[in-house]
Amino acid sequence: MTAEDQPLLRVRGLEKVFPVKKGIMRRTVAQVRAVDGVSFDVGKGEILGLVGESGSGKSTTGRLILRLIEPTAGSVELEGQDVRALRGEELRKTRRDMQMVFQDPYSSLDPLATVADVVGEPFQVHFKMTRKERDNKVVELLEQVGMGSHHLRRFPAAFSGGQRQRIAVARALALEPKLIIADEPVSALDMSTQSQVVNLLLDLQERLGVAFLFIAHDLSIVHHASRRIAVMYLGAIVEVGDAEEVYARPRHPYSEALISAIPVPDPQAERDRTRIVLKGDPPSPLNPPSGCRYHTRCAYAMEICNTVDPEPTPTVNGGTVSCHLHTSGPMLNGRPISQSLRNTSG
Amino acid sequence: MTDVTPPGDPAPLLSVTDLSVGFKGHTETVTVVDHVSFSLRAGETLGIVGESGSGKTVSSLALLGLLPASARVTGSAKFDGRELVGMPPRKLRDVRGNDISVIFQEPMTSLDPAFTVGNQLSEAYRNHRGGSRRKALDRAAEMLRLVGIPEPQRRLGEYPHSFSGGMRQRVMIAMALICSPKLLIADEPTTALDVTIQSQILELLKSLQAELGMAMIFVTHDLGVVASVCDAVSVMYAGQVIEESPIDEFFSHPLHPYSAGLLDSMPQSVAKGERLRMIAGTVPPPSRFPVGCRFHPRCKYVVEACTTTPPELDSVEGDRKVRCIRHAELTLEVAK
């Protein structure tokens, strides 16, 4: 593989097992496989959307990549360099290239630190800059995210949610990272400010060529902002593909149900459509189902789904899907779940 | 008032007129809900939409007398012939949970972790209807079955911690409906839930409403949810109602620039990859509501008069209302 087509981020077989401890002796009584063999790539300057419901392991995946928590198994490569093998100073250097924006801008900013402190801290940590140099840098960054230099000496309490999230983005940009992991960056914001922050991320990607791993549960926003989407369910990626393809012609029954559950702002369309209402709750990750992890809630489940975990299969549009419908039974072979299949298994 | 049904029909179930809520601060009283009026008839669903700080939750809590003692509530809220504003707390307790019920956003914190689900459900019933414990538990089991919880008899003996988020919200709905209320107020009932669970709960509420014939007030910030469950919508901004409409008209041609801005900022209204449309600026806090039209600093269509004269809520097209001095000359397009 040449350096040209090498992806920016390469994640293979990533796993995280959390022990469940009980009693005075804190003995491990069970294990939760929060992330169970996740593999994907993020290209240079690409926005990859990672969607799933609570408990699907999407946020854990983001944290594992940055090694904010240590993976149990698997590999994470940034530009060919194995992030898991790094120690000390080398790890710190690599972390400049990968930054994070958290969900809640009300708790991710220190209430006692001014904007200059919050955004300028990375310069002090990594480059030992003087205060004046730092302030100049901070003003530049604030301009990048559409905020004026008069905010420099203000505290987070003086800002609205949208402005706080801009400050958090400015801090993430400080060290000119190649990848920003944004974990639910807009879900704590009001609807009229959500689009401001989404547009900011799109601008930065275009202007600075930063790649994003955009983690969110809101598929309509992820679909809009991302080039490709990966759908997670119970610790595993069940489908990856071109955002438009996954959204318009999902290959996995779970993606189909997830997309169908989004209410659209059009009363007539809401009356007309048949919504797929999933049965039951997601199973506990403590005790995941055998075979395909989705089979307990799947409308199309077959015999084989109870016993065999499906392998990722290529779809006709260059994505992959992990579902037996594509290899056994109706043999979709990577084509979308068709209307006829939906009718027969009703 | 939002009249969805033609005039001549029976009187509305709930009719709120000029409801205002103020909180006493250190130096001044801050008005967070300012002369809000709306009404709804039996079996109807009204959506109250707004961003945080718009006063949508405070308005609904004021109806139920659930605001802290520091709140000053004025105006009128007539429910089924009775005036709710200023009703003595003991009388209001008879209405609340009986004729009017409420479900909140957080199913995790709305149930008492120290009592079984059966205990909490049957208490809600016996407080209003009396009767034996046995009878109340039977009713509780029937309600759990109605909201789609499997094995209701067994689950009655369990504590809230053994229910998932979606299941807890079902328990809350069962508790709210156990006395067959005429009106259910749902304050962001699905916001804390995952989308697939949200769609289960919305379908459940719709089918229960059809079965039991109750009216609903849906307080939400999600326009998709409004489109899927409501008959009419009332949009609030900075403590005031700025538009009221039946939903089809609202979504096809909103009358207020703020409504249009909200609809326009949804990802569905632009092509993929394009920048989302947005409303500049942020919602002002109640202590700093602008003079004139409260939306004018963020409005694309602002003219001189908007900055000085507070607009009235005008009736237009029969059953719609809008608070904007330029509504007659503006044609607001919403991209599909």
* pLDDT exceeds 70 at position B241: yes
Q: Are strands A98-101 and A179-183 parallel, antiparallel or unpaired?
A: parallel
Give the closest-approach CA distance of A45 to chain B in angstroms. Answer: 14
d(CA A159, CA B57): 23
d(CA A74, CA A53): 23
Residue bearing the bigger pLDDT, B70 or A338: B70
Task: With CA atoms as reference, report the closest residue to A177 among A21, A342, A8.
Answer: A8
- Inspect the interface and report whether the beta carbons of B166 and A202 lie closer than 8 Å: no
Give the closest-approach CA distance of B15 to chain A in angstroms. Answer: 25
Summarize pLDDT for B123-162 with one digit per residue, the tens. 999 999 999 999 999 999 999 988 888 889 999 999 998 8
For CATH 3.40.50.300, list the domain ranges present in chain A.
9-248
- Inspect the interface and report whether the beta carbons of B268 and A264 lie closer than 8 Å: yes
Task: With CA atoms as reference, report the closest residue to A266 among B91, B51, B335.
Answer: B335
* pLDDT exceeds 50 at position A123: yes
Q: Strand order of the sheet with strand B14-24?
A: B29-40, B14-24, B71-79, B82-83
pLDDT at A310: 95
Give the closest-approach CA distance of A217 to chain B in angstroms. Answer: 8
Query: Looking at the partner chain, which of A224, A262, A268 has a beta carbon nearest the beta carbon of B224?
Result: A262
Angle at A329 between CA A328 and CA A334, to 5 degrees: 60
**CB contacts < 8 A (A, B):** 116
Chain B partners within 8 Å of A243 (Cβ) = 272
Helix, strand, or coil (residue A189): coil
Rg over alpha carbons for chain B, rounded to the nearest Å, is: 21
pLDDT at A178: 96
- Inspect the interface and report whether the beta carbons of B275 and A196 lie closer than 8 Å: no
Determine the residue among A222, A224, A242 to mutate to test chain B binding: the one whose Cβ has the most chain B Cβ atoms within 10 Å. A224
pLDDT at A295: 94
pLDDT at A218: 85
Give the closest-approach CA distance of A334 to chain B in angstroms. Answer: 24
pLDDT at A345: 46
Mind giving me the DSSP string for B160-181?
GGGS-HHHHHHHHHHHHHTT--
Give the closest-approach CA distance of A146 to chain B in angstroms. Answer: 12
CA dihedral B53, B102, B193, A159 (to 10 degrees): 10
- Inspect the interface and report whether the beta carbons of B203 and A264 lie closer than 8 Å: no
Helix, strand, or coil (residue B224): helix
Question: Quick one: pLDDT band at residue B1, thresholds 50, 70, 90?
Answer: very low
Give the closest-approach CA distance of B129 to chain A in angstroms. Answer: 32
* pLDDT exceeds 60 at position A142: yes
DSSP-derived secondary structure letter, A306: G
* pLDDT exceeds 80 at position B163: yes
Q: Which amino acid is at A295?
A: H
Query: Looking at the partner chain, which of A160, A244, A263 has a beta carbon nearest the beta carbon of B272?
Result: A244
- Phi, psi at residue A281, to the nearest 5°? -100, 165
Query: Looking at the partner chain, which of A224, A261, A263 has a beta carbon nearest the beta carbon of B276?
Result: A224
Task: With CA atoms as reference, report the closest residue to A109 among A145, A179, A101.
Answer: A101
Q: Which amino acid is at A144?
A: Q
Chain A partners within 8 Å of B262 (Cβ) = 191-192
Chain A partners within 8 Å of B267 (Cβ) = 195, 198, 220-221, 223-224
Please give the ipTM for the structure prediction: 0.82
pLDDT at A234: 93
- Inspect the interface and report whether the beta carbons of B336 and A192 lie closer than 8 Å: no
Chain B partners within 8 Å of A270 (Cβ) = 227-228
Question: Quick one: pLDDT band at residue A1, thresholds 50, 70, 90?
Answer: very low
Q: Give, to the nearest 10 degrees, the angle between helix B133-146 and helix B117-129.
A: 110
List Cβ neighbours of B273 (8 Å cut-off, separation of 6 or more): A224
- Inspect the interface and report whether the beta carbons of A261 and B279 lie closer than 8 Å: no
Q: Under CATH, what is the fold of the domain A9-248?
A: Rossmann fold (3.40.50)
- Inspect the interface and report whether the beta carbons of A268 and B248 lie closer than 8 Å: yes
Q: Are strands B320-322 and B240-246 parallel, antiparallel or unpaired?
A: antiparallel
Q: Chain B contact for A25, CB < 8 A? A: no
